[in-house]
A and B are shown apart, each in its own frame.
Chain A
Amino acid sequence: MSATEAPASATTTTGQQPHAIAAALARGERPARPSALSTSMTFGWRALLKIKHVPEQLFDVTIFPVMMTLIFTYLFGGAIAGSTQDYIAYLAPGILVQSVLFITMYTGATLREDIDRGVFDRFRSLPIWRPSALVGMLLGDAARYTLAALVTGVVCLVIGWRPEGGLMGVVLGVLLLLVFAFGLTWVWTFLALIMRSQRAVMGTAMMILMPLVFGSNIFADPTTMPGWLQGWISVNPVAHVVDAVRALMNDTPVGGSMVWVVGWSAALVAVFGSLTMWKYRDPR
């Protein structure tokens, strides 16, 4: 069949469609295989397009963190630190960590939705670097995490937070937080591949996040807590993240907590990244 005569606009009648399809097939030559970076960026672009079409999905990274910050500050400020003003200085770095970590689980929920809708089959049937669909998704979500951190930071500033570390300290703290969030997200992608429904993924993620976030030094000084809880907090990776972020933002020595955070992040990527890619070959 001739490939040269593609009727430009004669495709509205079925009679000419086969011809147009044959012409389109004839032009479907294979370009050079794209790099891993390029395909990952393309998937990141997809995540941003989805935000453009469904802007409601930004509620969880905007309104939710604002509510959490205001509620915790005004509910506990007086009781824990004597005044909301004093409390926000303690709480702000921690509430930033909490805001970002809670929204990481939506990455798992989104992945499960993609699998259920069938679009993931398409991606997995393409000759591309296999992790790029997931890495790209995480890149797109990094934009959401950054937005959540920005919104939370601004709210804290508005209600009286004045970080000693200045802009630089806050930026470094947020970057470190994003590194840990990237590592933690692989836990949720793994859950999304082994669980059957989005609801199960969210429920399990919540169950894991609760003790990590609330059993920590985000809201109160651990020295006021019973020994067993102090023991948990001393091994809780989120507490290490809060320590490091707080130190960077308050311009105090970061010490060993930084090593812990980087170590945990690397370990999460190594373990759950590998498990995710192993399961990705053959998901439920």
Chain B
Amino acid sequence: MTDLAIETAGLTKTYGDLRAVDGIDLAISRGGVHGFLGPNGAGKTTAIRMLATLIRPDAGHARVLGHDIVHDADEVRSLVGLTGQFASVDEDLSGMENLRLIARLYGYRGTAAVRRANELLEAFSLADAAGKQVKNYSGGMRRRIDIAASIIVSPELLFLDEPTTGLDPRARNEVWDIIRALVDYGTTVMLTTQYLDEADQLADRISVIDTGRIIAEGSATELKASVGAGSLHVRVMHRDDRDAAHEVLVRELGVEVNREPDPQALSASVEDRARATRALGALEGAGIDVAQFSLGQPSLDEVFLALTGHPAEDTDPHEEEAA
């Protein structure tokens, strides 16, 4: 018996000339959330699909909860749950029918399947929409029915492929709450996301993936440390003040301060938050009116820029995610 939830060595999947997943080595322990962070087309979905036994690797090995994903695929399937990037429920059927269908496929019979479906509909606040076709659900409801279908039999490991992509902030928060509840219960969650703040909110450890390779691994704090605390944006009230503000900021921050295309805006990358706060105080002390300021967390783009030298959006936009 192994303590690892996921263990891979040189896991590879190619589509023609494209190495969608190019030799991934992972050792993910049980419990908590492991985040797979990367832009579209980085190979996140392909990797998850291999681990969930939906596609077979072309090279390398992987064990999920101690079982080989190729030779013991059936064993893996009985221990994991999967919520795909696209709603993996039948849109033509109602929410109730979808859950009954999956419950029956797991071996619940007749009334037991109905009871289990009802329990989950209640728990996911979908009882009122139980009889509606899923195609009429909102994005957030779809995600919830999808996750509910994945935990009809409580999985030890749950794969969530971009669970909040395309959701509004409220629905996104609901999904986050659900993921936290799953983790509290003891389920290991493997999550893919394009959003650094999502990985930051949920994941204990993060693997950053780009063009099929893992380019960094660590906690959110460690990753952010690699790009600095973030960037300070200041927008002065009057454009005539900008040069004066520039002078103050350079003095207080001790780093390069950029003049933005916006004639009232300045930005600087800062290591030390306390220093940034002092700099803002100094602006006020100098009698410069500040219209807006923000101390942003580094974005995925900044992490990518720091790690790869190219922004996330610049990666080859191929179609492997849909494959």
Chain A residues near B (Cβ < 8 Å): 1, 6, 8-9, 11-12, 14, 17-34, 38-39, 42, 45-46, 49-50, 53-54, 114, 117-119, 121-128, 281-282, 284
* Contact of B127 with A118 in the complex, beta carbons under 8 Å: no
Q: What A residues does B54 contact at CB under 8 A?
A: 121, 124-125
Q: Report the Cα distance A30→B106, complex, angstroms.
A: 8
Among B87, B97, B154, B180, the residue within 8 A (CB) of A25 is B154
Most buried by B among A18, A21, A50, A281: A21
The 5 closest A-B CB pairs, nearest first, are A28-B154, A118-B86, A127-B78, A18-B181, A31-B107
Q: Are B112 and A25 in contact (CB under 8 A)?
A: no
- A24, A29, A39, A50, most chain B CB atoms within 10 A: A24
Closest A residue to B148 by CB, please name it. A24
Chain B residues whose C-beta falls within 8 Å of the C-beta of A11 in the assembled complex = 122-125, 127
Residues of B close to A38: CB separation below 8 A? 104, 107
Q: Is the CB of B133 within 8 A of A53?
A: yes
Q: Is B84 an interface residue (CB 8 A)?
A: yes
- Given A17, A39, A127, which contacts B181 in the complex, CB threshold below 8 Å? A17
Q: Mark B44-73, 1 if CB is under 8 A from A, else 0.
A: 000001001111100000000000000000
Question: A182 → chain B, closest Cβ, in Å?
Answer: 22
In the complex, the answer to whether A14 meets B174 with C-beta atoms within 8 Å is yes
Q: Quote the shortest CB–CB distance from B245 to chain A (angstroms).
A: 42
Q: A8 contacts which chain B residues (CB < 8 A)?
A: 122
A33/B123 in contact, CB under 8 A: no
State the CA gap A122–B101 with chains docked (Å).
Answer: 11
- Residue of B105, B123, B173 near A21 (CB, 8 A) is B123
Binding site for A on B (CB under 8 A): 49, 52-56, 74-75, 77-78, 80-82, 84-94, 97, 101-102, 104-109, 112, 116, 119-120, 122-125, 127, 133, 149, 151-154, 173-174, 177-178, 180-182, 184-185, 187, 323
Contact check: which of B49, B74, B91, B173 meets A127 at CB < 8 Å? B74
Sampled A-B contacts (11; CB under 8 Å): A11-B122, A22-B184, A31-B107, A34-B105, A38-B107, A39-B104, A53-B93, A53-B94, A119-B87, A121-B82, A122-B149
In the complex, A42→B102 CA distance in Å?
A: 9
Closest chain B CB from A17 CB (angstroms):
6
Contact of A125 with B55 at beta-carbon distance under 8 Å, contacts A28-B151, A119-B88 already known: no
Interface centre among A27, A45, A53, A122, by most chain B C-beta atoms within 10 angstroms, is A122
Known: A25-B185, A121-B82. A31 touches B108 (CB 8 A): yes
Contact across chains for B77 and A127 when beta carbons are under 8 A apart? yes
Contact B120–A46 (Cβ < 8 Å) = no
CB distance from B229 to the nearest CB of A (A): 31
Instruction: Tell whether, in the assembled complex, residue B93 and residue A50 are in contact, meaning their CB atoms are under 8 Å apart.
Output: yes
* CB nearest neighbor in B for A32: B107
Neighbour of A18 across the interface among B52, B53, B106, B177, CB < 8 A:
B177
Q: Among the listed A39, A46, A121, A284, which residue makes an inter-chain contact with B88, where contact means beta carbons less than 8 Å apart?
A: A121
Q: Are A42 and B104 in contact (CB-based, < 8 A)?
A: yes
Report the Cα distance A28→B115, complex, angstroms. 11
The smallest beta-carbon distance between A195 and chain B, in angstroms, is 14
A21 lies within 8 A of B107 (CB): no
A123 to B55, CA, bound (A): 13
